[in-house]
Amino acid sequence: MSAAEVSSSSAGARRTPEVPVAEELLRLRGVDVRPCTECGACSEVCPVVFAMDVPPAELITRLKGGAGQDFLVHVSPWLCTDCRRCSETCPVHIDVARAMEGLRLLAHETAQASAEDPVVRFHETFLDEIAQRGRLHELRLLWRFRRQVPGWRSRLGLVTMLLGKGKLSFGGGRCRRWPGPKALHTGASGAQPGEGEGR
């Protein structure tokens, strides 16, 4: 889901779908969950399943069963890293990662995504940083997100440690000739990923 899609869906009128979420996913992202055999393979290969409130396999099963709008409050789609292991593992070729993307978009469109949820806010801040600069600057992202995390000052020691280990950098800038947010929406970009112009 691109930052432009998030922005447009958030700014537009909120709507309440009168059809099952699975049908909305098929319309928005072309993902059909009906062939699911409930084998559980997607959950077995997911690297962040331990942090999810509902495992990927259960999400797909419940979608297949006709889950409605209240299903969109789950945090699992926002934790998805889009590594695509689930999609590649599925024996019936369901694109589970794309389904997760569609669930995030639907959560925005139906106002089920809480703007106060730190997971949702981090996701939005991350996308906005990429959209505006064409690349991620970790320190800038942490600084922008700090107010969403209670007690963030107590975690400054962790930031110092990561800087000392070279895991974070003060450097970074905007991609050269980065056309801005529209690039994520249209896929058109003249940016050169390896080049920067400073801050």
Average pLDDT, stretch 152-165?
74
β pairing state of 192-196 and 175-176: antiparallel
* Region for 156 from its dihedrals, namely left if φ exceeds 0, alpha if ψ lies in -120 to 50, beta otherwise: alpha
Q: What's the total number of domains in the chain?
A: 2
Q: In percent, how much of the chain has pLDDT > 70? A: 66
Question: Which residues have C-beta within 8 Å of that of residue 69, sequence separation ≥ 6?
Answer: 16, 17, 21, 110, 112
* 9, 103: one domain: yes
Q: Of the candidates 145, 137, 127, which has an alpha carbon nearest to the alpha carbon of residue 2?
A: 127
* 8, 86: one domain: yes
Q: Say whether pLDDT at 54 is over 70.
A: yes
- Note whether residue 196 is domain-resident: no
Provide the whole-model pTM: 0.60
Name the 3-class secondary structure at 174: coil
- Note whether residue 151 is domain-resident: yes
- Note whether residue 198 is domain-resident: no
* 127, 179: one domain: yes
Distance of CA 128 to the CA centre of its chain: 12
Instruction: Answer for the pair 81, 3: CB distance below 8 angstroms, yes or no.
Output: no
pLDDT band at 58 (very low <50, low <70, confident <90, very high): very high
Calculate the dihedral angle through the C-alpha atoms of 154, 158, 159, 160, rounding to the nearest 10 degrees.
Answer: 100
Average pLDDT, stretch 13-30?
72
What range does the domain containing 82 cover? 3-109
DSSP for 8-46, written as a single string: HHHHS-----SS-HHHHHHHHH----TT-----HHHHH-
* 100, 122: one domain: no
